[in-house]
Amino acid sequence: MSAGPSPSTSGAATTDVPAAAKVFALVGNPNCGKTTIFNALTGLRQKVGNYPGVTVERKEGTAFGQHGENFRLIDLPGAYSLSARSPDEAVLRDVLLGRRADTPKPDAVICVVDASNPERNLYLATQILELGIPTIIALNMIDVAESRDVVLDAKVLAAKLDAPVIPMQANARVGLIELKMAMTRDDLSASTYRTTIPSELEAALIKHVPALEKWDGETRRSHKWEALYLLGEHDPAHSGLSESERTRYRDARRKLEEGFSGWEETLVATRYDSIHAICKEAITHPHSDQPTLTDRLDSFLLHRFWGWATLLTVMTVLFSLIFSYADMPMGWIESGFEALSGWVRTVMPPGDLRDLITDGVIAGVGGVVIFLPQILILFFFIGLMEDTGYMARIAFIMDRLMSKVGLNGKSFIPLLSSYACAVPGIMAARTIESPKDRLITILVAPLTSCSARLPVYLLMIATLVPSEKVPVLTKVSFMLGLYVLGTLGVFVFAWLFNRFLLRGKSTPMILELPSYKAPTFKAILLHMWERTRIFIRRAGTIILGISILLWFLATYPKHESDDTGTQIEHSFAGRMGKTIEPAIRPLGYNWEMGVSLIASFAAREVFVSAMSVIYNVEDTGDEDLQPLRQRLLAANHHDGRPVFTPLVCLSVMVFYVFAMQCMSTVAVVKRETNSWRWPLFQFVYMTATAYLAALAVYQIGSRLGY
């Protein structure tokens, strides 16, 4: 496997695990409740990063057995099969086969099976049992199964699979003690279950095993299932094979296809036949034809008209809550920073150090942290939609629209995640099987209005509306308009790239819609806590550093004049702004805004902290900090014209709808595509689009008399 940077960590601090601690891998299909079980077993003892060399999320945690034993728990990516079709499925396969040097081969596996859809979930479970790794079957969501009148006999299932089966309802912590007890058992052994495959196919597999014996310079004895899952992968790049190994891979696959045409379809059919026989004895399906709750909800939520109406209503409610319920905690944060600044001014003598703390650190960091309550509401709703199963329905609804631009609904899952942050959204594109669809999704994902844009939007909306109290409906209307504009940009550029840049056949969407279930608020709150830590850490590192740098650039070199405006105009920042002012003047921007635009290339929200620093540096008094909105409204050109007219505010918002302005996104696109070509192309086309769109807004609006 190609080397890569060490995995970064985030989330809660972990408890050190002894080197000899038993390693458990947690696996399962998507939407089976695997994350809920991981959170229940590890709590806050987690660390999150990426596997080196790929942008696949890596989650590890410390779990404790029923008698206090320490276990190392690795949460592997969700998958339907070990025959990898995407990078995350390849990581799952390679970890279980012991093919990754950065991750130990697990001592045992906890395989989570959705009890309401056992036949589909047992496909992966039986593959894992055949690898010879001790496995515990966590039969989760038994409450959903019972609501469908599905009766499962765990003892019969355990006997058929030769593995312990633990019935669970993870969101209510039912079965958690039994699972911990199973993890501590000394007699946990490998299952003897094997799927009987046609003898001709087995002979063909054994014949072609030597073609894949080489791995990272070592010769190893291959298992027939190991060779099978490597041969079954359609994209050998996921395995980290060298070019010579890929050649052997292609040759082996071609020879196997020549010797046994349709071998993959035969294996799939054989495995499902075995699973069906097991389920026939262990599971009683409902005899009633009455529609389930999921069926009744889907008849409404997936309707051609009511589905869209519901989605629009959900988004409207979301933005209304962002504006109405976040005001109070935002006021607390603002008052806290004002009080802190006032306290510093009273205890420190006047001078550059005091100005650095109040006008650089406090103003810069406080200008961004104040928006944390609104961002948390956004993350709460995204977590709620994912946990209840509604997120998959949104993808299904959007498939009809995505197909118009050459993509499918699976692309919308990463795009929807990008409304929170483009970085995990781009990483989520690894679940898309088609390389063309995956790349187009990566290229357009940053056009979605992520949470980092919220501070810019909110500041400009507040400045745009002249009244002291901006009506909630006005805010919601503007915000919905900006989100719609970004979404239209996604569709337009996806269509252009699909038609002119990356031609090829798009793959149809195959998406399993999970059953609706009650949300696990503990998991949602844990996710919000992780995002809060990331946001605050960003405010305490990137934004803090840039705020200090901006204060320095706006303060030095010192000018003889005591006038603050003259001082900042002749500072390093003023000179930088004056240099680019001719390029941004057609957009309606002055040089102060130019400095903020440059600073926000590190992160979009830095625009707000940069404006806070620039306009607080101009303050010569010792009074408390005024709200930034009032500062911007009071800012005038030399001829007395206001700087932040409604047209300028609108131009800024349109610019940030399309602008890249995020170095973290550039970095993750480079890692995802393994090339500088695509992130540079992305940066150029987005920046050009942002400039031209903002130019059109200001120039056309000016000529119309606005």
Tell me whether residue 370 is exposed, middle or buried, using C-beta atoms within 10 angstroms of its C-beta: 0 to 12, 13 to 18, 19 or more: buried
**Strands in 177-295 per DSSP E:** 214-215, 218-219, 283-284
Nearest-5° Cα angle at 522, 518 to 526: 130
Share of the chain above pLDDT 70, in %: 79
Q: Which of 479, 280, 532, 495 is nearest to 406 (CA)?
A: 495
Would you say residue 15 has pLDDT above 70? no
Would you say residue 218 has pLDDT above 70? no
What confidence category does residue 5 fall into, taking pLDDT thresholds of 50, 70 and 90?
Answer: very low
- When the pLDDT of each residue in the chain is averaged and rounded to a whole number, the result is 78
Q: Which of 224, 200, 204 is nearest to 212 (CA)?
A: 224
CA atoms within 13 A on the CB side of 96: 37
Predicted pLDDT of residue 443: 92
Would you say residue 341 has pLDDT above 50? yes
H or E, element range at 111: strand 108-114
Predicted pLDDT of residue 331: 79
pLDDT, mean of residues 437-451:
86
Torsion angle, alpha carbons of 638, 644, 650, 653, to 10: 100
Predicted pLDDT of residue 10: 40
Phi, psi dihedral angles at 102 (to 5 degrees): -85, -10
H or E, element range at 286: none
User: By mean pLDDT, which of 71-80, 105-114, 501-510 is the weakest?
Assistant: 501-510
What confidence category does residue 477 fall into, taking pLDDT thresholds of 50, 70 and 90?
Answer: confident
User: What is the distance between the alpha carbons of residues 147 and 578, in angstroms, rounded to a whole number?
Assistant: 67
Looking at mean pLDDT, say which of 46-55, 95-104, 288-297, 687-696 comes out highest: 687-696
The residues that bridge with 642 in the sheet, in sequence order, are 636
User: By mean pLDDT, which of 180-184, 375-379, 539-543 is the weakest?
Assistant: 539-543
Predicted pLDDT of residue 232: 61
Would you say residue 93 has pLDDT above 70? yes
pLDDT, mean of residues 390-405:
76
Taken in order of first residue, the domains within the chain and their CATH numbers are 22-183 (3.40.50.300), 199-265 (no CATH), 530-703 (no CATH)
Q: What is the pLDDT of residues 496-510, one digit of tens each?
A: 998 887 765 555 555
Write out 622-682 in H/E/C secondary structure. Answer: CCCCCCHHHHHHHCECCCCCECCCHHHHHHHHHHHHHCCCCHHHHHHHHHHHCCCHHHHHH
Looking at mean pLDDT, say which of 200-209, 268-277, 474-483, 659-668 comes out highest: 268-277
Task: Enumerate long-range contacts of 149-158, CB under 8 Å, 24 or more apart.
Answer: 149/286, 149/287, 149/288, 150/115, 150/116, 150/118, 150/283, 150/284, 150/285, 150/286, 151/283, 151/284, 152/115, 152/118, 152/282, 152/283, 152/284, 153/282, 153/283, 156/281, 156/282, 157/278, 157/282, 157/283
